[in-house]
Structure 1
Amino acid sequence: MAHKFSKITTGLLFLMTININGQKQDHLDNALNARQLSIITIASLTAKGDLENLETALAEGLDAGLTVNEIKEVMVHLYAYCGFPRSLRGLRTFIKVLDERKAKGIEDTLGAEASPIEDKRTKYDRGKANLEALVQAKLDGPPADYAQIAPIIEVFLKEHLFADIFDRDILDYRQRELVTVSVLATIGDVEPMLRSHMNICLIQGITPAQLKELVDVVGKNVDEAKIESARDVLNKLLQSKE
């Protein structure tokens, strides 16, 4: 009888272990990794102009495995959403961090450069194709209201943002959207664009749990009103998909 009980107990413990380990793995798979968390923090602090805390975040990003070129690309990407002044100050802060680490004997990995563009289509067509890949839908409808009143801005968006910038393969689409959402949540008062890019994150395979984690991370750097607005945008977006 004791032998039978031992077998049953062992079996139950084995099943419990599988269940616990499975839950743990699900949690890990559903969580942002260290590199993604660093991208979010760096983007948010750069957009905010919090250079003192940015220094720490940049060092932590390098230690988490981001390359020098990946962090530079984060700075390049985010200028499209919060402007050259924030981007340039972020880059100068990064130079300082790299110099200090080099003085300490730390050799950071430079990483890959952007691949040459072999696509012979016009920049406008490349940008349109990239945007369609982002939203996973054809964009052949009437132009948006802003494009009707200022057609040139639609050209800039397609040719510069979605071609010149998005064609650079140092960061992938998911990483670029993590940067974008982090910046938009940090600057605040851009709810329609924030919702749009949160939706693109979902389309690109970022999970609702990961988006919630992103908002929590950004929430460490911005005031309560902005982060509550971001949470509200995300909650309404997720409810619309139920």
Structure 2
Amino acid sequence: MKIDELLAASDGALADIFSRLVSDVSSRGELSEKYRRLAVLSALMGCGGQDAFRAELADALDAGFDPAAAREAVMQSAAYLGMGRALPFVQAAAEVFAAHGICLSPETEDLRDRSERGEAAQVEIFGDVMRGFHASGDALARPVNALLSENCFGDYYVREGLSFRERELVTFCLLAAQGGCEAQLAGHVAGNFRVGNDAHILGETVLAMLPWIGYPRSLNALTCVRNAVAKS
């Protein structure tokens, strides 16, 4: 069931208002269709919008969106939401895929050199400052930094299905939609800039997310983008 149908079944007036907002955003937006779909799906995971996620994923697949790209965004959410909050979306995606007759085969994982491959991804996205990051920090931070390289980047970012540029956009949306992650969001705004998602693209991404995550988190995300521009 589409989101407007879900809303109309509960409150027709609210459905009309939301439909106008989505239409207004669409008329102003300049994102590619793939970026817009990635932004909305990632934002819905970030804000915990399970019902809307199901509806939007089904709509995206009906419109020809690549199911492998959707799956990669869902998998990546585990690194930024934690499995405690990502699990419902893993299950929802599996159910929507099944309803569409989509079966994505599991890949053979290469567990060799996870730390090295993860660090290489970090360096490509954030620059040479990330060399040796996995071994940096004090006694409290060092284990987490090592896992960031091995797991977050070495397990997720290096997977096929999404480019680094697309993955950074997904991360930006996951963090912005959660709220309270502005320190990490600022770092990934800089990462987005480095891989080609400039301030205009990120501004358009925030606009695409706005109906789903609300004004406060959208404004906070724009502040992070604006601050990054001032520092660049």
Give matches, 1:95-114, under 5 Å.
95-102=94-101, 108=102
Match of 1:88? Answer: 87
TM-score (norm 1): 0.74
Give matches, 1:120-139, under 5 Å.
122-139=113-130
Match of 2:42? Answer: 43
Once residues 138 and 178 of structure 1 are traced to their aligned partners in structure 2, the CA distance between those partners, rounded to angstroms, is: 21
Match of 1:167? Answer: 158
Once residues 41 and 150 of structure 1 are traced to their aligned partners in structure 2, the CA distance between those partners, rounded to angstroms, is: 32
Match of 1:105? Answer: none
Give matches, 1:10-159, under 5 Å.
31-102=30-101, 108=102, 117=110, 122-140=113-131, 147-159=138-150
Pick closer, same or farther for the CA change 1:148–1:66 going to 2, 3 Å: farther
Indicate if the aligned counterparts of 2:134 and 2:147 stay in contact, CA closer than 8 A. no
Percent sequence identity is 22
Pick closer, same or farther for the CA change 1:131–1:141 going to 2, 3 Å: closer
Pick closer, same or farther for the CA change 1:142–1:70 going to 2, 3 Å: closer
> Aligned AA for 2:77?
L
Match of 1:197? Answer: 188
Give matches, 1:217-236, under 5 Å.
217-236=208-227
> Aligned AA for 2:225?
L
Indicate if the aligned counterparts of 1:58 and 1:97 stay in contact, CA closer than 8 A. yes
Structure 1: stretches of 5+ with no match in the other structure: 1-29, 103-107
Pick closer, same or farther for the CA change 1:96–1:123 going to 2, 3 Å: closer
> Aligned AA for 1:187?
Q
Match of 1:23? Answer: none
1:147 CA displacement: 4.9
Pick closer, same or farther for the CA change 1:162–1:141 going to 2, 3 Å: closer
1:85 CA displacement: 2.7
Provide the secondary structure at the position in 1 that maps to 2:161: coil
Once residues 238 and 189 of structure 1 are traced to their aligned partners in structure 2, the CA distance between those partners, rounded to angstroms, is: 21
Once residues 94 and 169 of structure 2 are traced to their aligned partners in structure 1, the CA distance between those partners, rounded to angstroms, is: 23
Indicate if the aligned counterparts of 1:147 and 1:153 stay in contact, CA closer than 8 A. no
1:188 CA displacement: 0.8
Structure 2: stretches of 5+ with no match in the other structure: 1-28
Match of 2:20? Answer: none
1:206 counterpart (178, 194, 197): 197
Deviations along 1:47-99, whole A, 9 cap, x unmatched? 22211211221022223433222211111101111111332211222233234
Q: Let me know the Cα RMSD of the aligned residues.
A: 2.7
1:142 CA displacement: 7.7
Shifted more, 66-75 versus 212-221: the winner is: 66-75
Shifted more, 215-224 versus 151-160: the winner is: 215-224
